Every structure is written in structure tokens, then in C-alpha cells.
Amino acid sequence: MAAPLISPSILSADFARLGEDVRAIDAAGADWIHIDVMDGHFVPNLTIGPGVVKALRPHSAKPFDVHLMIAPVDSYLEAFAAAGADIITVHPEAGPHVHRTVQAIRGLGKKAGIALNPATPAKTLDYLIDEIDLVLVMSVNPGFGGQSFIASQLRKIEAVRKMIDKAGRSIHLEVDGGIDVGTARQCTEAGADVLVAGTASFRGGPDQYAANITALKGID
């Protein structure tokens, strides 16, 4: 079983020193940088906009994994692409025509992801799987960090892994929500290859970041 990629969520970073924290988590071995964008409408929280993404871009050369929890989403794609996003992930519920949204993301030269909320079924991907680069299974209801892992999502991870394998394309399977050392292993065993971890990545401050990431990867 290969070690998963770790995409630390900056939602758990120190916002007073965000650039420094991004540099520190990058140096500690983060594979991607996960950026949660929330609008206070689609989800019950308000975070950042493309200006912050642009400001952070010089601080890391790692892929910026941008999760847009905003609706309507289409009018913001170009701004986040221009700000430096490498992967743009959207929710099927965030616009009237998700296939068109995926086409728009790829037309901007970015990788396109689809996020599945806990109650959104895997079959939502049936007519999208050939167009996307990433599936994000939400193992908590989106909106806040620090929530507990919803165990039923392991079955969804397994179902999505089968879909990806059947499609025969290089598609990442990412999981976000309640990830710690224990749930990281469960998700990887179910078929995930990318894990988003906020609290578990940033816990203990910069001196602990490397050890946190090593533990999440399951490396002894």
C-alpha cells in the first residue's frame, strides 16, 4: 500500500503568519497545499478569496489544491485560476450545470475536481468520471475544521475507487474531514491516495509539522 499524498489544509494554519506557515508546512514534506474557500452561503463559514491565494502563491511551489465551497461557483473560476490554483474542486450542487463547470476549469488549464458531500452519492460521478482529474470525498459536512470523521464515507471511498479503476484514467481520490493517524490508514486502505489534514498537520507548531506529516503517511 503506497503512502498517500498529504495536502495540509491552511484552514488550521496561523492566519496571522499564513505565508510563514505555508513555507513551513511545505518544507516539512507537504505534497500539496489545500485551500478551503467558503462563502458563508453554500457552507456556514466565511474564509478567503482569490486575493489571499495570489498572496500565498510565491510562498510555495507545491500544487495549490483549491476547494471551492461557494455558490454560484462559475463566476469565480477564472479569478482563482489566475491567482495560482493548480487544482480547482467544486461541488455538483454549486451550479446548474456541473459538467459545464468542469469544462470551464479545464479550459483555464487547471485540473478539475468534484467534491462529494456525505449525503451526495458516488453515482453522481457516472457522467463526469471521464472529464475530471480528482474526486474529493468529504468525510465531514463541509464548513468547519476539527469535525469528527463520518465512518459511512469509507464505503463511498471504496465505491469511488472502483469507479476510478474501471475508468482506467489517472484520477486522484482525495478525502477531507476528521483525518488523523487512525482514519488516514482507514481511508488509504479503502482506496484514497490523497488526504487533506488540517488539525493533524498543523498540530504542535512548525517544529512538529514534519513528524505530523510522516505519521499521516504511515511511514515508520
Which of the residues are catalytic? 36, 176
Ligand-binding site membership of 145 (annotated): yes
The answer to whether the beta carbons of residues 1 and 25 sit under 8 Å apart is: no
Ligand-binding site membership of 218 (annotated): no
CA dist 164 and 115 (Å) reads 14
Ligand-binding site membership of 67 (annotated): yes
CA dist 65 and 130 (Å) reads 20
Ligand-binding site membership of 178 (annotated): yes
Ligand-binding site membership of 144 (annotated): yes
Beta-sheet strands, E only, within 73-183? 87-90, 111-116, 134-138, 172-176
Helix (H) or strand (E) holding 195: strand 194-197
CA-nearest of 44, 157, 124, 134 to 87 is: 134
Ligand-binding site membership of 49 (annotated): no
Ligand-binding site membership of 36 (annotated): yes
Ligand-binding site membership of 176 (annotated): yes
CA dist 92 and 106 (Å) reads 16
Q: Which residues are annotated as a binding site for a divalent metal cation?
A: 34, 36, 67, 176
Return binding residues: 9, 34, 36, 67, 143-146, 176-178, 198-199
Numbered residues of the known binding site for substrate: 9, 67, 143-146, 176-178, 198-199
